[in-house]
Amino acid sequence: MDTASLLMTAPELILTGAGLILMLIAAYAGDGSARLVSVLAVAALAVAGVSLTGIAGHGGDAFDGLYVADAFATFGKVLIYVSAAVAIIIAPRFFAAGRAIRAEYPVLILFATVGMGLMVSARDMLTVYIGLELNSLAAYVLASFMRQDSRSAEAGLKYFVLGALASGILLYGMSLLYGFTGSTSFAGIATAMGDGLSKGELFGLVFVLTGLAFKISAVPFHMWTPDVYEGAPTPVTAFFASAPKVAAMGVTVRIAMEAMGSALHSWQQIVIFVALASIIFGAVAAIGQTNIKRLLAYSSINNVGFALIGLAAGTAEGVASVMSYLAIYVVMTIGSFLCVLQMRDVNGQPVEEIASLSGLSQSRKGLAAAMAIFMFSLAGIPPLMGFWAKFLVFDAAVAAGLTGLAAFGIAASVIGAFYYLKIIKTMYFDAPADAYAPAGSRIESALIAVCAVIIVIGYLLNPLLDTASAAAAAALQ
């Protein structure tokens, strides 16, 4: 084993080491140490993020090509670490209200983050699978973290059963690919696919994409999403909607481009179908929802569809647009869920009904404004960042000759705009409902403000984002 490989995996080593130490602290000091463990976990994420500036950010292949440290992985990891840190920061206050605060929460998030880091850095099917399982297993536990709450337990069980099924499908596809290409590495699969795609390889490709479509919750493998997002505790839902989406999307893009690049015409039609189905279903099914977390779950399905349009283009430009989309999506989603966390009645109990937002603009002006910004952005109204994200993917699709797909996507985004605007209408034009409890946490308010500011003045950051996502796309071979 060489030292360079170990240095390139520094973020994962740091997070694993921190997770083990924090686990010991949690075990000996009990749940009273939850706050301390949370602070240390966020610090570990920051250290891991800093380590990405060194060789771990651009070192190339490690461990004989099992793992790669490149700009693409770094881009994904930064998004993942930020989402994980937010999920840890917002948790203590939420769980304290239900007296369900546990010191294991940050530890599980850290281990899930290690798994997601492996996913975006994978250049071998084995690494993909190990990373995915590490992430999923921690996620199943997190979904049912409030085990006294029957909805949370149901969410965990549903997620576990369906997730295990998807893992099985994915593994089946991987074993087919291994059998018919003789290699688990992306480079080896690409070599074997280069001289024509055999039926066996095509089967493997379809199964692998199916398994991954489940993990990014794209239609028609989205059934678990609304139930799990609704049942899981809100900080966990915020986590699910951001970091694992980035990781699974990253691994999908890398497999499609690096391992199956020569089979573009075979997976392009699958991705186009999944993208359109996700956009339309995500938009239409969200209209009738009354629960804000369920609505955001459909919104995430809808957004995954838009991101997949960039992948369908199959070009470096398309990949760059997917990465930009993910970055902007993470900010919008985290912002929205932070607003959902603010929805508590006067007794401090969480409220999830959309109707309870009525007249929010009079009782909580700042919160209503922030929520309106996120909803406008998710709907893709210029000049907010959400518009720019959609513009990039449609631009890439048109450049790749998929004008019809882009036109269809734009038309469907109008359906989506309906329910986002409905929330704004509820907040600003409906008769006031019972007021929420006042904002209790400066940190949460500050995070909301930061997200809202990024969304509003984000176009100033566009050159930076474009450079980063172009570098990420260029790193794919």
Partner 1 sequence: MIHVFAFYLFACIMIAAGALTIFARNPVHSVLWLIVAFFNAAGLMVLLGAEFIAMLLVIVYVGAVAVLFLFVVMMLDIDFAELRAGFVDYLPFGVLIALVLLAEILLGVGIWQAGPIELAQRAAPAPTDAHNIEAIGALLYTRYIFLFEAAGIILLVAMIGAIVLTHRARAGVRGQNIDSQNRRRPQDAVVNVNQPVGQGVEL
For residue 63, state whether it binds partner 1 (rule: CB under 8 A): yes
- The residue among 239 and 387 lying less far from partner 1, judged by its C-beta, is 239
For residue 440, state whether it binds partner 1 (rule: CB under 8 A): no
Q: Tell me the closest approach of the beta carbon of residue 197 to partner 1, in angstroms.
A: 8
Q: How far apart are CA 247 and CA 296, in angstroms?
A: 19
Q: Tell me the closest approach of the beta carbon of residue 39 to partner 1, in angstroms.
A: 20
For residue 32, state whether it binds partner 1 (rule: CB under 8 A): no
For residue 108, state whether it binds partner 1 (rule: CB under 8 A): yes
Angle at which helices 442-457 and 71-89 cross, to 10°: 140
- The residue among 185 and 300 lying less far from partner 1, judged by its C-beta, is 185
- The residue among 59 and 335 lying less far from partner 1, judged by its C-beta, is 59
Dihedrals phi, psi of 219, to nearest 5 degrees: -60, 140
Per CB under 8 A, contacts with partner 1 among 67-86 are 67
Q: Cβ–Cβ contacts within 10 Å for residue 443, how many? A: 13
**With contact defined as beta carbons under 8 Å apart, do 248 and 131 qualify?**
no
Given candidates 46, 147, 150, 345, which one binds partner 1 under the rule CB under 8 A?
Answer: 147
Tokens of 16: 């694993």
Q: Tell me the closest approach of the beta carbon of residue 7 to partner 1, in angstroms.
A: 13
- Stretch (H or E) spanning 429: helix 403-429
Q: Tell me the closest approach of the beta carbon of residue 359 to partner 1, in angstroms.
A: 40
- The residue among 19 and 314 lying less far from partner 1, judged by its C-beta, is 19
Dihedral (CA of 397, 385, 76, 333) sign: negative
Distance of CA 413 to the CA centre of its chain: 20
For residue 102, state whether it binds partner 1 (rule: CB under 8 A): yes
Distance of CA 457 to the CA centre of its chain: 23
Q: Kindly report the CA angle at 239 between 235 and 241, in degrees rounded to 5? A: 115
- The residue among 112 and 448 lying less far from partner 1, judged by its C-beta, is 112
Q: Tell me the closest approach of the beta carbon of residue 51 to partner 1, in angstroms.
A: 17
> Among candidates 249, 247, 258, 255, which has minimal Cα distance to 114?
247
For residue 126, state whether it binds partner 1 (rule: CB under 8 A): yes
- Window of 45-53, 122-130, 278-286, 404-412 that interacts with partner 1 by CB under 8 A: 122-130
- Stretch (H or E) spanning 61: strand 60-62
- Window of 16-24, 240-248, 357-365, 433-441 that interacts with partner 1 by CB under 8 A: 16-24
Binding marks (x or -) toward partner 1, 179..198, rule CB under 8 A? Answer: xxxxxxx--x--xx-----x
User: Which ranges of 63-124 does DSSP label H, i.e. alpha helix?
Assistant: 71-89, 91-97, 104-120
- The residue among 64 and 345 lying less far from partner 1, judged by its C-beta, is 64
Q: Tell me the closest approach of the beta carbon of residue 23 to partner 1, in angstroms.
A: 7
DSSP 62: E
Given candidates 73, 90, 141, 209, which one binds partner 1 under the rule CB under 8 A?
Answer: 141
- The residue among 183 and 441 lying less far from partner 1, judged by its C-beta, is 183
- The residue among 180 and 214 lying less far from partner 1, judged by its C-beta, is 180
Given candidates 64, 345, 353, 434, which one binds partner 1 under the rule CB under 8 A?
Answer: 64
For residue 111, state whether it binds partner 1 (rule: CB under 8 A): yes
**With contact defined as beta carbons under 8 Å apart, do 235 and 341 qualify?**
yes
Whether cis (ω within 30° of 0) applies to the bond prior to 382 is: no
For residue 66, state whether it binds partner 1 (rule: CB under 8 A): yes
Whether cis (ω within 30° of 0) applies to the bond prior to 383 is: yes
Q: Cβ–Cβ contacts within 10 Å for residue 411, how many? A: 11
User: Which ranges of 123-198 does DSSP label H, i.e. alpha helix?
Assistant: 125-143, 150-181, 186-194
> Among candidates 162, 180, 277, 297, which has minimal Cα distance to 227?
297
Q: Tell me the closest approach of the beta carbon of residue 220 to partner 1, in angstroms.
A: 23
For residue 239, state whether it binds partner 1 (rule: CB under 8 A): no
Residue 430: partners with Cβ closer than 8 Å, 6 or more residues away: 358, 359
Dihedral (CA of 417, 423, 424, 428) sign: positive
For residue 114, state whether it binds partner 1 (rule: CB under 8 A): yes
- Window of 59-67, 345-353, 363-371, 431-439 that interacts with partner 1 by CB under 8 A: 59-67
Q: Tell me the closest approach of the beta carbon of residue 352 to partner 1, in angstroms.
A: 23
Please report, for residues 287, 365, 366, 379, the alpha-carbon distance to residue 441 in angstroms, rounded to integers and kept in the order given: 31, 16, 14, 28
Distance of CA 87 to the CA centre of its chain: 12
For residue 118, state whether it binds partner 1 (rule: CB under 8 A): yes
- The residue among 147 and 365 lying less far from partner 1, judged by its C-beta, is 147
Q: Tell me the closest approach of the beta carbon of residue 55 to partner 1, in angstroms.
A: 16
Q: Which residues bind partner 1 (CB under 8 A)?
A: 1, 5, 9, 16, 20, 23, 62-64, 66-67, 102, 104, 107-108, 111, 114, 118, 126-127, 130-131, 133-134, 137-138, 140-141, 144-145, 147, 156, 179-185, 188, 191-192, 198-201, 203
